[in-house]
Amino acid sequence: MRLALVGATGMVGSEMIKVLEESNLSISEFIPVASEKSTGKQLQFKGKAHSCVGLNQAVSLRPDIALFSAGGSVSLEWAPKFAAQGTTVIDNSSAWRMNPEIALIVPEINAQSLTSSNKIIANPNCSTIQLVMALKPLHDEFNIKRLIISTYQSVSGTGYKAVNQMSAERVNADTEMAYPHRIDKNCIPQCDDFLDTGYTKEEMKMVHETKKILNDDSLRITATAVRVPVDGGHSESVNIEFTKPFELNELVSCMEKMPGLVIQNDHSTNSYPMPLYAKGKNEVFVGRIRRDESADNAINMWIVADNLRKGAATNAVQIAEYLADNNLIDKNITFNITSNA
């Protein structure tokens, strides 16, 4: 397999390299792709140095798979160019997620919908991925009616600039600001830009992407996304209302059977998920599972995952593994698309 990584020098790109090195993918040629200012930069992959190339050269090399983590504008312009050459693109930006022609994939949930004709595949938003991993088995069994979500999101979700801001603030040093306010010793109730409704783009990504992945437009969802001074993972407090009654032990047992989901819910030992311990791990962790005593057929729970791992790099690499394992990579099939819906 010839694999290109677009955005190889970024925070998610660097994590993708680590996950690729841990994966079972048989990569015969690794092609790191970066912006013009980083062309020629040396990156290590499996003990060997590889020089970053530009996007034009990467397209001409016709890789089997291209993992994209370079932002929405780059994806909109260049993903179709790779796809037109027969390359399968797995894109980590928001550019293609809500396009009706593009599959939005969390492998444990809906990878079976993929075929060799899916030449651009969207990786969901980091907060959405960990959310739907916990929701999927519950929705199948008890039918979710409504969700109320509050997120506590790591600065690593914004990138190196935000991590550097928090680090500098902790030693009272001057730094370039990634956020409109100080983040250390603070919580910022804004993730991404505001919309006219007063919600942010991040909040609405969770609403729309969850419905698409679970294939249910009837779900009623509201979210508040908050940036917190943490570097390691995103946390979510989720209130779930079902249409069907349930026994709590049955609900927990249902989630325990979900691949990639780890239950940490032992109150007697203060066992519950925390970003400090989720960092560097590929699983999604769920705990604080309890009935909502103010509503019928409702629960509260706490979901944590490393946003650079399962929330981005791991999920993308798992998609690539699924394609390879199921012989769905075919460069004789091309795909042409020019705009995002």
| 2-6 β-sheet, strand order | 29-33, 2-6, 65-68, 88-91, 120-122, 103-104
The residue to which tokens 């996007």 are assigned: 55
Of 314, 307, 313, 312, the residue nearest 153 (C-alpha):
307
Phi, psi of 57 (to 5 degrees): -65, -40
Phi, psi of 74 (to 5 degrees): -65, -40
Which one of 52, 126, 139, 191 is the catalytic residue? 126
* 191 is known as an active-site residue: no
DSSP category for residue 55:
H
Which one of 50, 139, 191, 234 is the catalytic residue? 234
Of 275, 45, 77, the residue nearest 157 (C-alpha):
275
Coil, strand or helix: which one is 150? Answer: strand
**Other C-beta atoms lying within 10 Å of the C-beta of residue 298:** 17
Spatial distance between the Cα atoms of 66 and 69, rounded to a whole number of angstroms: 10
Distances (CA, A) of 197 to 91, 107, 132, 212: 28, 32, 24, 21
Alpha helices per DSSP H over 4-50: 11-22
* 50 is known as an active-site residue: no
User: Catalytic residues, which ones?
Assistant: 126, 234
